[in-house]
Amino acid sequence: MNKNFQTENPQVELSVCKKTIASLALGRLVLFFSIGAVLIIGLSEIRLLLLAFFPLAAMFIYLIKLFNDQKDRQSFLKAVVKMKIDQELRKKRELSTFDAGEEFKDKNHAFCNDLDLFGEHSLFQLLNHTVADGGKLLLSKWLKAGVDPQRAKERFAAIKELSTHQNFVRNFEAIGKAFVKEEKNKRPFYKWLKTPNAWKKLYWLPLIAGPLVGLVLLLAWLFMDLSVAYFSGWILIGLGFLAMIFKPLMEAYKIMPDEGDLKTLRSWSGELERLEFKDPYLKRLQAPILDKQYRASEALKSLEQQSFTVQNRTNLMYLIFNLFFWSDFLVLWRLETWKKDYASHMQEWEAVFEEWQVLVSLAAFTNEENITCEVDWSEKLEIDVKSLGHPLLRQDVCVSNDFAMVEQEKTVLLTGSNMSGKTTFMRTLGINMVLVNLGLSPFSDYYRSGPFQLFTSMRNTDSLGESVSSFYAELARIKGLLEQAEKQSPVFFLLDEILKGTNTTDRVMGSEALIKQLMESKSKGIISTHDIELSKLEESYGGLVNYSFQSDIKDNEILFDYRIKKGPCPSFNAHKLMELMGIRFD
């Protein structure tokens, strides 16, 4: 089936595929009625005609296989077409139809809620190309993980190489979207894999005798006019033997993974086995799939076939064969043999594929956004970026900025008019730090950063259920920052409109005290405020620098350039905004 995962023009090929499916469905129907006619005539008039049943049945099964292969290809092509549509939506930053990952929000996390990592119009919606719950969960963990330069470097190299295998990246996602539907809990299956072998030496007798005696009886009836009574006796004996293995087969029936899951894992394995990677991280992840003693695709194909047989034992055709040839014994033997050979690998394969899902997501994102900026990890506590933009804004309208903090600078005091871009810039810096920690290129032309842990306090809201005011919520966030700072771990903080929930006098005094306390640690970062008097602290504290976003007023219109500038903001626009909204100042 892996040969079908190639396409040059999916829309045209999808149309051809639909016609092929219709032709195969018609051929299968004609053959079904032909088999029925052979059985009726053979049983009633010409017994030797029944010999034609077997080749006709084989042809019928072959047509079913061709039909299923074409249905799989149709699903794959539909997924590819849908992915192209999704790519255009992401490019336009129209993200409302994508999974928002709301369940991964965490108000106690150091930064995830403030930087739009999850929720409506979030980074998760832009990044997520995973297709199963395990992959989605792992992506959320990577997004929320603390900064680790070594791990980020390893991932960066792997994603860079993986993004060059564009067909693999596309096929991997499309296969998952085509076949993974509603996931079935695999815990019972993994528990079954650890159970003792249900096969007993006694079962070899019916395994061999069933098909041999059944075939002899069938031929004797066809050519020697053997009495039907012998068949009745044989079936009764068979029921006794089959009852011995009814329980283990029913247990297997209940816990077998979903057909779509197995098909996905098998197809992913086949795609991976054809690739050769240079990156050591990718080679390490490929190793469990491409072992010297086995190939995961072959093992998973075998499990897929056996799962199909187990779950279709109630099929009328199977029931007839089972009563005559005791085929349940062959099914159980194959299942137990598979469990013996591969049980220890199955859970590892699924875990590995969760990681592949995340890496494919990041490689797909790299290709879609065409981001190529190298990351320079510095051992110094500094940050320097050129032309830094926000990934969640449309790139054709996004205003980028240059920004730097040398090692001696500890705090940037960011002032500016309302709506001038202070908060957006802080989020731009924070969310790019998250991208870099994932192993991705940032949305910039140049990026150099020290090994900072990220901490934000930007969206502190009140909670009636917890009887918490927004001011208390902000103080709780600041307490968390101070606890990290006291450990002398290098933290990069982003504090938006500091202490805004209290009066001006207390806010200015509290802000100065906090700035002084943070100066004494290894932490550095940005504090935005409307209190312009705080900008005078630059004269008292050598590690504090002023930056601002500014606006101009022209013809009763407030104009913004969204560019960060050195120095405090010379004027604010709140007065003019209130006038424009109808408030009269006499």
Is residue 556 very low, low, confident or very high in pLDDT (cuts 50, 70, 90)?
low
Please give the Cα distance from 487 to 505 (Å, whole number).
30
Is residue 573 very low, low, confident or very high in pLDDT (cuts 50, 70, 90)?
low
Please state, rounded to an integer, the average pLDDT across all residues of the chain.
88
CA nearest to 534, candidates 520, 515, 555, 551: 515
- Strands lying side by side in the sheet with 383-388: 376-377, 446-449, 383-388, 401-405
What is the structure's pLDDT at 582?
Answer: 56
At the topology level, CATH places domain 376-580 in Rossmann fold (3.40.50)
**Which one has a higher pLDDT value, 25 or 293?**
25
Q: In this structure, what are the phi and psi dihedrals at residue 468, rounded to the nearest 5 degrees? A: -120, 125
- The DSSP result for 409-435, as a single string, is --EEEEEE-TTSSHHHHHHHHHHHHHH
Q: How is residue 182 written in tokens?
A: 């509603």
Asked if 52 and 38 touch (Cβ cutoff 8 Å), the reply is: yes
Question: Which H or E run contains 123?
Answer: helix 123-127
Give the Cβ contact number of residue 475 at 10 Å. Answer: 17
pLDDT in tens, 396-455: 899 999 999 999 999 999 988 777 789 999 999 999 999 999 999 999 999 999 999 999
What is the structure's pLDDT at 466?
Answer: 45
* The dihedral sign for the CA sequence 307, 311, 312, 313: positive
CA nearest to 416, candidates 406, 404, 405, 425: 425
Asked if 290 and 272 touch (Cβ cutoff 8 Å), the reply is: yes
CA nearest to 455, candidates 434, 441, 439: 434
What is the structure's pLDDT at 474?
Answer: 80
Percent helix, strand, coil in the chain (nearest 5)? 60, 10, 30
What is the structure's pLDDT at 107?
Answer: 87
Residue 462 has pLDDT above 60, yes or no: no
CA nearest to 496, candidates 392, 416, 426, 430: 426
Q: In this structure, what are the phi and psi dihedrals at residue 455, rounded to the nearest 5 degrees? A: -145, 135
**Integer angstrom CA distances of residue 481 from 116, 442, 451, 515:** 20, 25, 17, 12
Residue 94 has pLDDT above 80, yes or no: yes
What is the structure's pLDDT at 535?
Answer: 86
Q: Give me the percent of the chain exceeding a pLDDT of 90.
A: 59
Is residue 215 very low, low, confident or very high in pLDDT (cuts 50, 70, 90)?
confident
Is residue 586 very low, low, confident or very high in pLDDT (cuts 50, 70, 90)?
low
Asked if 34 and 56 touch (Cβ cutoff 8 Å), the reply is: yes
**Which one has a higher pLDDT value, 247 or 228?**
247
Torsion of CA 410, 416, 418, 423, to 10 degrees: -30
Mean pLDDT across 214-223: 82
Helices (H), 45-116: 53-91
Residue 558 has pLDDT above 70, yes or no: no
**Chain centre to alpha carbon of residue 526:** 33
Mean pLDDT across 493-511: 85
In this structure, the strands spanning 401-405 and 544-549 are: unpaired
Q: How is residue 485 written in tokens?
A: 């700072």
What is the structure's pLDDT at 580?
Answer: 53
**Chain centre to alpha carbon of residue 302:** 26
Strand, coil or helix: what is 17?
helix
Structure letter (DSSP) for residue 570: S
pLDDT in tens, 9-68: 889 999 999 999 999 999 989 988 888 888 788 777 777 777 787 788 889 889 988 998
Q: How much is the CA Rg of the chain, to the nearest whole Å?
A: 33
What is the structure's pLDDT at 372?
Answer: 93
What is the structure's pLDDT at 585?
Answer: 59
Residue 583 has pLDDT above 80, yes or no: no
Question: What's the pTM?
Answer: 0.89
Helices (H), 439-541: 470-486, 504-519
Please give the Cα distance from 561 to 420 (Å, whole number).
8
What is the structure's pLDDT at 465?
Answer: 43
Give the Cβ contact number of residue 131 at 10 Å. Answer: 25
Is residue 576 very low, low, confident or very high in pLDDT (cuts 50, 70, 90)?
low
Mean pLDDT across 478-490: 85
Please give the Cα distance from 577 to 586 (Å, whole number).
16
Mean pLDDT across 167-177: 95
Least confident interval from 94-103, 138-147, 204-213, 462-471? 462-471
CA nearest to 72, candidates 254, 253, 270: 270
Contacts of 263 (CB under 8 A, 6+ apart): 72, 179, 304
Of these ranges, 376-380, 499-503, 578-582, the one predicted with the greatest mean pLDDT is 376-380
Please give the Cα distance from 373 to 388 (Å, whole number).
11
Instruction: Please measure the distance between the N-terminal and C-terminal CA atoms of the chain and give it in whole angstroms.
Output: 79
Residue 572 has pLDDT above 60, yes or no: no
Q: How is residue 115 written in tokens?
A: 């930087």
Mean pLDDT across 226-246: 88
Q: How is residue 493 written in tokens?
A: 């903080």
What is the structure's pLDDT at 506?
Answer: 83
